[in-house]
Amino acid sequence: MHPASLQKAFKTALMKAGIAKTASVHKLRHGFATHLLENSYDIRTIPELLGHTNLQTTMIYTHVAKKNVFGVRSPLDK
């Protein structure tokens, strides 16, 4: 499916669902990567899930949450 077609179908689904927030397929992808990082998924597997060949691309793309980059959680986050 062409990216523009996917975006159009996504916008149509948002309208039918009555969701007025601005959203895009890119934001879904960004959110997916960010949630993986925030939940301490292995940073080396996330690029594979996103189709990135370079870890640096993933790091830029997801605006890495500093508190969870190394899988370490602060007791204050609980």
Distance between CA atoms of 59 and 64, rounded to whole angstroms? Answer: 6
- Give the pLDDT of residue 22: 86
- Give the pLDDT of residue 10: 94
Residue 5, domain member (yes or no):
no
Query: What Cα–Cα distance (Å) separates residue 18 from each residue in 9, 21, 31, 75?
Result: 14, 9, 21, 39
Structural domain boundaries enclosing 42: 24-71
Domains of the chain: total? 1
- Give the pLDDT of residue 72: 58
Residue 41, domain member (yes or no):
yes
pTM of the predicted structure, to 2 decimals: 0.66
The per-residue pLDDT string of the chain (78 residues; one tens digit each, 9 = 90 and over) reads: 898 999 999 999 999 999 988 889 988 888 898 888 888 888 889 999 999 998 888 888 666 555 555 555 655 555
